Amino acid sequence: GCMLDGKLYPFGHIERTENCYRCSCSRTALGCCSLFFTPLSYDKENCKVVFNKTSCNYDVVQKNDPSKECSVHSRV
């Protein structure tokens, strides 16, 4: 298998790792792609970015009230 972030994964296709990556594990290599997009354009003065492992995405929330989401204009 392949070791990633201290966890052993079996050879073959890995649909989702604990840290939100999709991987392909072979005897010679491990290749992974992220399942999330990083927010770039949002109100950085009033909002903050928080990683949500359940949804495998970044939530952009208000700094003074994290229960309220902020608008995101672009992600990469």
What are 21-67's pLDDT values in tens digits?
999 999 999 999 999 999 999 999 999 999 999 999 999 999 999 99
pLDDT value of position 30: 96
CATH class of the region 39-75: mainly beta
* Three-state secondary structure call for residue 75: strand
What single-letter amino acid sits at 66?
A: P
Contact 61, 50 (CB under 8 A): yes
The segment(s) of the chain belonging to CATH 2.20.25.590 are 39-75
72 DSSP β-pair partners: 42
Q: What is the pTM assigned to this prediction?
A: 0.74
Number of C-beta neighbours around residue 41 at 10 A: 11
* Pairwise CA distance, residues 10 & 12, whole Å: 6
Contact 28, 65 (CB under 8 A): no
